[in-house]
Amino acid sequence: MSRKPFSIAIDGPAGAGKSSVARAVAAELNAMYLDTGAMYRAFGLHMLRKGATNDARAIVAALDDVNITVEFVDGAQHIFIGDEDVTEAIREPEVSMAASDVSAVPEVRERMVALQRKIAEGHDVIMDGRDIGTKVLPNATLKIFMTASAEERARRRCLELAQKGRPEPYDKVLQEMKDRDYQDTHRAASPLCAAEDAVTVDTSDMSFDETVAEIKRLALKAIGKC
């Protein structure tokens, strides 16, 4: 008798390390990893190029004109706009706010949620984002709200940017982090919040390896393998 596929939803604010941790845990559990934020970033990039990230009418109209797809190459997720691989381009700082802008439009979230559910269907899957446990996978096997202080998230982001050769002042990054938090938690469409049955994991004082180990422990317990 085949077992029912498991699903793990990881939500949390920008810069909490959700994607890196979810990817690592998915690899250890041999599950599909889907970075839903990358999908919003791709659409945000598309609208940024059009110069219309704050024009709701243009954003809705563009939904029928843009083709955003997810492909897995050697186990790694790649995001495409049409035939263009934008996996790296969507990680630019300005795309982060553009993603937050477009995701505030209800029609965008409806389209993305439907696509995310379709991709996850029939698979063991780990998804991370802002509304996975509350909207995308409300019946997930395990829901986690992964967070860290704004100061710690800004510190990590500064380190990441420096390693990529694009250093930014800490105060600037911290303010951008706080602005993104406010926008994500106050939008009308699926605001960022922890699902009622989510387990909160504060990683402010945890290393990457410690966080991966804790999420894996919770996952195995929920799946019934420990």
User: Which pLDDT does position 153 carry in this prediction?
Assistant: 95
Q: Percent of the chain having pLDDT more than 90?
A: 65
Domain 7-219 fold? Rossmann fold (3.40.50)
**CB atoms closer than 10 angstroms to residue 43:** 26
Asked if pLDDT for residue 39 goes beyond 80, the answer is yes
- Name all contacts of 85-90 with Cβ < 8 Å and 24+ positions apart: 86/42, 86/45, 87/38, 89/45, 90/38, 90/41, 90/42, 90/44, 90/45
Instruction: Tell me the pLDDT tens digit for each residue of 119-134.
Output: 888 889 999 988 899 9
Q: pLDDT per residue over 144-178, tens digit each? A: 999 999 999 999 999 989 998 989 999 999 999 99
**Mean pLDDT estimate for the chain:** 91
Of 102, 99, 81, 82, residue with least CA distance to 91:
99
* pLDDT at 77 (0 to 100): 84
pLDDT of residue 131: 86
- Identify any residues that bridge with 125 across adjacent strands, giving them in sequence order: 7, 32
Report pLDDT for 195: 93
Is residue 2 very low, low, confident or very high in pLDDT (cuts 50, 70, 90)? low
Q: Which two tokens stand for residue 161?
A: 């940017």
* Cα end-to-end span (Å), the chain: 20
> The whole model's pTM is what?
0.79
Give me the residue spans of the domains in the chain.
7-219
Tens-digit pLDDT profile for residues 50-77? 999 999 999 999 998 899 988 887 778 8
